[in-house]
Every structure is written in structure tokens, then in C-alpha cells.
Copies of this chain bind each other. A is one copy, B any other.
Amino acid sequence: MSDLIRGNAIIGQSGGPTAVINQSLVGVVEGLRMGLVASGHVATVYGMRHGVRGLVADDLFDLTALHQDRLDRLANTPSAGLGSTRDKPDQAYAARVLDACKRHDIRYFFYIGGNDSSDTCRIVREMAVSANYDLRCFHVPKTVDNDLMENDHTPGFPSAARFVAMACMADFMDNISLPGIKINVVMGRHAGFLTAASVLARRRDRDTEAAPEATTDGPQLIYCPEVPFDLDRFAADVEAIYSKKGRCHIVVSEGIQDSTGTPIGARLIKNAQVDAHGNVQLSGSGALGDQLGDLLKEKLTPRGGKPPRVRADTFGYIQRCWPDQSIIDQIEARRSGRFAAQLAMQGHGDGSVAIVRTGSGSRAFLGARGEAYASDYKRVDLSAIAARTRHMPAEFLSGHNNVSRAFIEYCLPLVGDLPGFERL
């Protein structure tokens, strides 16, 4: 803790956008206005256009006096209003960031994003400390993948989970109407939380931990990247259900990998495009679903018979930007931003914000007898988040193709009311 310093503040957004990342942006603006701007320590609140890429190019946007009506509309607008970037600063890039901060007399630096963004905060902060330039750096969590350490969950996840649950509910009704094998591919390269959220579509089985073959609703099979994915076992799982019911509803993470850690996408997809970090492009392509579908057609076609009807959908970018957000997510994303501004006001030099669950939300199951969902915020060190990945804990998984009741209890309170469907 140290005395407050006078200067300007800047806010950036980084990484894949979410449906509520603008709530956090608006939360930081509001928190600064109520705090460091009101106290006279901060003169101008800047936004970086496209994160650090805009900062180093002096492409800034003045947020200080934006009308509250525009802020409120912005908060409800999905995707990154300031623009985002995939740039991950190395030492040379971070030096240019620091130069830009000095150029604009920036003393408070806020970065909204995932673990890479936390790492950017850490690098910039360390460089500023070394250079004896008082720059206070705060990270605000954001990721639909829900893969940040120290967080009960991260802003962006509940809204994406809500989309995945609703899409699977509706698509399962489609699947029982025109039976066949249906594969839905869900985002999440390393962590299976979003894929697991599809379990909330099992309205009738949610209060018990149904085995795949015993579920009334779909999806019947759920494959997270935390469990090694075996192509033969997958085909056998599907066949067991398809041979009994004449249909099978499946959700797989885009990040499924085999026991050696090789992504299934990289194994199955010919001519896969590889990005700057050596990762196979998984989002923005239907290739993984299509290849898994082809595999099932090949393995499940009876000798001399007709191949089964197999369809694959890849939920794609709309799962991270669909405008019907979870209300809890909207509130928490906003408050996470405000909390970061409060940390600055309290004289912290750096830190990340983490969500702590303080009320279990068992009311979602138990009605009035249960506990209301509640959450609070805490400061954690940047290094506790930076460049680290949280995975689904073992107690959230059930076997190799299902998730547990503990996960349902964890996730259901976050997504808000889901529609009730009728089956004849």
C-alpha cells in the first residue's frame, strides 16, 4: 500500500471477447469516477483501442465524461467495445507499453482479460517498478473458458454457459424429433467448464447424477479436455446409446486430446491451420465436429447397411457473444470492474480481482429451504493468475463421458432461469 499518485488512468480489453466484458469496462469507469476522479487524483480515464496494440500506437479513447446512458447501453453490448487484441507483450513490447504510459502520464493501468492479460499486467508492472515509474497495474478477470486460478468462476462464463445450456436443451428437442446422432462442439481449448455446462440441459435428470445411458434428456455424452479422449471408446459409447434409442446426443469440447496430450483436432483434421503459438485453429471452423461425425459414420455403419444419420454443429463465436446474458454474470462483471478501481483507490500497487462464492445457491435446487446464491470479491496477486490455467477438478467429472452432481450444483445458480419444456 502506498500513497495515491496523481495522473491519468487507462483501461484495455484483451483476448477473446465475452458477452459481459463491457460490463467490466463500465465498472472500472464507474469505480474510477466515484473514486480517483472524484478525489482529484485521476484527470482523464482513457480506453485503449484494441488493448496494448492501441496503447503503443497512441490510439486512445477518452472515457472520462461518457454519458451514463451510453455507459449503460455499452455495458449491455456484447463483445469488447474498445476492441481487443491477441498481442502478448514480450520485454521489448512491454517497454513500448511503459513508454506510452509515460507519454500520456498514465499512473493507473487496468487490463480486462484472461490469464495472458494478467501476465501482461505483471510484466508491465515489474518493468515499471524496475524503471522507478509509479504505475499501478490491475487485472480484471474475463473468460468464457472459466480457467483462471483463485476464482470460483470468471465473468463471461455464466453467460456462455447459459447459451450452451439453452442451445443443448433446444437442440435435444430437435434430436428426439428427427432422431439420429448429433454432435455439438463447444469452446474451451484447455478447460472443460463450458462443455460441462451442457449438462444443465438435462432438465429431468438434474437432481440426480444420471449415468449417460439413464438420462431422459440430452446430452447423453459429455467429453471434456481433462479426460483423455479415445476414438474407439467414443465410438463404443455412442453405439451403446444409439443401438438402444436410435439416437444419441453428444457434446464435445473443441479441446479434447488423447492420452499423450495431442489434440484430437490435430490428429483428425487434415491441413489444419496452425496459429502463431503453434495451436491448431479450433474455433471458427466446423472441422473437428465433421471429422468426428465421419468417424462415427464409418464405425457405426452395419456391414452392407446404411450409415446412421450423423450431424455436427460447432457453436462458434455466438456462444461467447450471445446477447441474452446471465443476470448474475452482468452484475458480477460490472462489480469486478468497480472492485479493481477500488483496489487502486485503496493504494494497492497491483492485483487481480477474484470472485468468491459466499452463498451456495442451493436454492436453485431446494427452493425456499436452500441458500441464496451470493458472491464477493477479493484481491489476489497477479502472479497467482498470470499464465496459469485452472482445469475442471476431479469432483466435477464423472467417469470419462459425464459430469457430476457437484458440477451441476456449482453451475446452475450462475446461469439464471432456463425455460421449461414439455415432452409428450
Contact = CB atoms under 8 A, between A and B. Distances in A.
Interface in A299-351: 310-318, 320-324
B311 A314 contact: no
Interface in A170-210: 170-171, 173-174, 176-178, 182
A85 B81 CA distance: 45
Interface size class of A (residues with CB under 8 A): 35 or more
A86 B17 CA distance: 39
A272 to B, nearest CB: 11
A16 interface: yes
A225 interface: no
A238 to B, nearest CB: 15
Given A286-B286, A313-B316, A322 B170 contact: yes
Given A73-B422, A314-B316, A79 B286 contact: no
A254 to B, nearest CB: 12
Contacts of A17: 173-174, 177-178
Contacts of A273: 297
Interface string A72-86: 011011111111111
A369 interface: no
Contact of A177 (B83, B173, B177, B289): B83
Nearest to A176: B83
Contacts of A318: 167, 170-171, 313, 315
Interface string A344-368: 0000000000000000000000000
Contacts of A312: 284-286
A309 B310 CA distance: 30
Given A283-B311, A284-B313, A173 B424 contact: no
Nearest to A309: B284
A84 B175 CA distance: 10
A400 B246 CA distance: 43
A373 interface: no
B421 A178 contact: no
A287 interface: yes
A77 B74 CA distance: 32
A95 to B, nearest CB: 25
A178 B422 contact: no
Contacts of A317: 171, 174, 182, 311, 313
22 contacts: A73-B421, A77-B173, A77-B421, A77-B422, A77-B423, A79-B176, A81-B424, A83-B177, A86-B178, A166-B322, A166-B323, A171-B317, A171-B318, A174-B320, A174-B321, A182-B284, A284-B311, A285-B286, A286-B312, A286-B314, A290-B290, A315-B316
Interface of A: 13, 16-17, 19, 47, 61, 70, 73-74, 76-86, 166-167, 169-171, 173-174, 176-178, 182, 273, 283-287, 289-290, 293, 297, 310-318, 320-324, 419-424
Chain A to chain B: the 6 pairs with minimum beta-carbon distance, closest first: A286-B286, A284-B311, A313-B316, A79-B173, A73-B422, A170-B321
